[in-house]
Amino acid sequence: MLPVIDLDAEFARLTDFWSPRVVARVNDQYVKVAKLQGEFVWHAHAEEDELFLVRRGRLVIQLEDGAVTLEPGQCVVVPRAVRHNPMAAEECWVVLVEPVATTHTGDVVVEGRTRSIAEQLAGRER
């Protein structure tokens, strides 16, 4: 039997903002859930594209040439090497799809913010 993933239950398990959790693996991509609030950090992923899908709330992704605003049910792919900074004025729930090698904060490490892949996989058997 294939495991069914209840995204709402996965979001309910999250207690910290900006701490994504892996909920599935599809080939060489992780599917992650995260709760966001406030401003993250400017960063880029040199080799990986990153998909943001908003389930609840509103997400603004700042880019060097403007910003993209996502409402529930909308998604965007940030292409590799594009500097971006996600922001959410109020609590926002997002699903992320990104290659398994993607580091949380890309080309920067921020103490207290950057989460390792091991932290993102915590409590999961993959």
For residue 113, the 8-state DSSP code is T
Domain ranges of the chain: 7-121
> Which of residues 116 and 61 earns the better pLDDT score?
61
Supply the pTM of this predicted model. 0.87
Task: Say yes or no to pLDDT of 42 above 80.
Answer: yes
DSSP three-state, residue 89: strand
Ordered alpha helix ranges (H), the chain: 7-13, 117-121
Residue showing tokens 């080309």:
107
Task: Say yes or no to pLDDT of 119 above 90.
Answer: no
Please name the fold of domain 7-121: Jelly Rolls (2.60.120)
pLDDT, residue 25, reads 95
Closest CA to 88 of 71, 101, 104: 71
| Mean pLDDT taken over the chain | 90
